[in-house]
Amino acid sequence: MAHENLTLLTPGPLTTSPLVRKAMERDWGSRDSAFVNLTSELRFMLAGLANGTDTHVAVPIGGPGTSAVEAAIGTLVGPTDRLLVLVNGAYGERVVEIARRLRIPVEIIRGPEDRPIDTDHVEAALRNNPEITHVALVHCETTTGVLNPLEEIACIVERFGRLLILDAMSSFGALPIDVTISPIAALVASSNKCLESVPGVGFVVVERTLIANAASVSPSLSLDLHAQWAAFEATGQWRFTPPVQVVAALVEALHQLKQEGGPPARLNRYQRNMNLLLAGMQKLGFVSLLARAVQAPIIATFLTPSDKTFVFRTFYESLLSRGFLIYPGKTTAVDSFRVGCIGAIDHHVMERFLTAVSEAKMAKKNFF
Ligand SMILES: *Cc1c(COP(=O)(O)O)cnc(C)c1O
């Protein structure tokens, strides 16, 4: 099996470019000035990508994206605060679990997984609960691929004088996020989604004054985002061993993003991938879970065909043998599987994938 040429149609880790992988070939001394400079370049580029250079700072932290979310919540929301979590999928539920483990008082608005969060509900909750201090939103819910209305919710949160913490894990780098348009106190994302790098580092783009005033809030040592920020500001160095090669790959990936034309160009490529995917899969008899209007061009969810001859595992293996890796479903509402359209892939790859799906379908007689 040609595993070296495997194309990952998953929402991270995803298919990376040869240049990004090549950036990992050298060694770095973590406290040497070369790596200090690389870190500073990384922080500057990440804050710039959110248009936050004047107001925000980027604080990278090693680990999966969830660690960065946990660091942000645990450092920015104190025990006397109250967090409203807007939930329409598994990643929203994860924020709830993080807050509960941190013993932060939570309020929850739960909506259906195939629909965006209802902004009227957010407004009502904030009007009726003055004790809510922070609101957590997942921008693109990767559970289904549904896009939540960031701009509207950010403006409501600001109007009520509360702080927005955004999980932009699967959107930052492609979908428009501008802190001068959408007031965002803290935005969390990671290296291995729309930034198209390898996994291993998350980061928080946070208002400078907010992080500066968040000393001694975090109950965790290694996930204390304020301490992490303070170390960067004081010495330019990471507190603990940084994933040096992962940082180098991410900086290279950010240069490639710039070269591509920035997030608008990347969004166009993803949109084209998604358009082809949805049209092609529909032609092959698959039904997409989401209405077109609420589908982010990140990952699509397809209903498992009801025909009993369709077995996901067989379908998965059949695509794998053709060089494509897809993702099982995550929504609890229906049986489904997911196909991502992010990563270093273009419409040619999508066309080859659709050919592979049609072959996989024919290979098994009476498939469905
Ligand atoms: C991927 C993802 C995360 C974090 O996942 P990790 O496995 O911890 O990297 C968080 N939120 C969303 C919306 C995601 O897509």
Q: What is the CATH number of the domain that holds 309?
A: 3.90.1150.10
**For residue 202, what are the domain limits?**
18-259
Residue 363 has a pLDDT of: 76
Q: Give the CATH number of the domain where residue 214 resides.
A: 3.40.640.10
276 and 132 co-located in one domain = no
Q: Are 225 and 3 in contact (CB under 8 A)?
A: no
- Distance from the alpha carbon of residue 187 to the mean position of ligand 1, in angstroms: 13
Same domain, 222 and 101: yes
Q: Are residues 137 and 153 in the same domain?
A: yes
128 pLDDT exceeds 80?
Answer: yes
3-state secondary structure of 98: helix
Identify which of 61, 96, 190 to mutate to test ligand 1's pocket (most ligand atoms within 8 A of the CB): 190
What's CA 276's distance to the chain center, in Å? 22
Same structural domain, 287 and 244 = no
| 167 lies in the same domain as 296 | no
pLDDT at 331: 83
| 330 in the same domain as 232 | no
**Is residue 140 packed enough to be buried (19+ CB in 10 Å), middle (13-18) or exposed (0-12)?**
buried
Residue 166 confidence (pLDDT):
98
Whether ligand 1 lies within 6 angstroms of the CB of 64 is answered as: yes
As a whole number of angstroms, the distance between CA 202 and CA 193 comes to: 10
Q: Answer yes or no: do 269 and 254 share one domain.
A: no
Same domain, 238 and 267: no
Looking at 240, 259, 278, which one is the last position of a domain?
259
State the distance between the two ends of the chain, measured CA to CA, in whole angstroms: 26
Average pLDDT for 334-346: 96
CA proximity to 152, closest of 142, 139, 171: 139
Residues 273 and 219 reside in one and the same domain: no
Q: Could you say which of 211, 229, 259 is where a domain stops?
A: 259
Regarding whether 229 and 286 lie in a shared domain, the answer is no
Single out the residue of 162, 157, 159, 163 nearest to residue 206, CA to CA.
163
Number of separate domains in the chain: 2
Q: Which of the four pLDDT bands, split at 50, 70 and 90, describes residue 235?
A: very high
The Cα–Cα gap between 61 and 267 comes to 26
CB distance 65 to ligand 1 below 6 Å: yes
Whether 199 contacts 13, CB under 8 Å: yes
| Ligand 1 site, residue 78, Cβ cutoff 6 A | no
Q: Check pocket membership of 66 for ligand 1, CB cut-off 6 A.
A: yes
Q: What is the mean pLDDT of residues 116-129?
A: 98
Compute, in angstroms, the gap from residue 105 CA to the centroid of ligand 1: 23
HSE-up (13 A, CA, CB side) for residue 130:
0
From the centroid of its chain, how far is CA 25?
A: 26
Strand bridging mode 7-8 / 324-325: parallel
| Rounded distance from Cα 12 to ligand 1 centre (Å) | 8
- Percent of the chain at pLDDT exceeding 70: 98
Q: Is the CB of 142 under 6 A from ligand 1?
A: yes
For ligand 1, atom 2, which residue shows the shortest CA distance? 169
- What is the position in ligand 1's atom list of the atom closest to the CA of 168? 13
Cβ 91 under 6 angstroms from ligand 1: yes
Residue 156 has pLDDT above 70, yes or no: yes
The order of strands in the sheet holding 134-138 is 56-62, 201-207, 186-190, 163-167, 134-138, 83-87, 106-110
Give the three-class secondary structure for 85: strand
* CB 12 less than 6 A from any atom of ligand 1: yes
Q: Is the pLDDT of residue 332 over 90?
A: no
In terms of domains, do 64 and 190 share one?
yes
Domain boundary pick from 199, 233, 259: 259
Expressed in angstroms and rounded, the spacing between residue 14 Cα and the centre of ligand 1 is 13
Question: If you average pLDDT over every residue of the chain, what do you get?
Answer: 96
Nearest C-alpha neighbor of 132 from the set 159, 154, 105, 97:
105
Is 54 in the same domain as 162?
yes
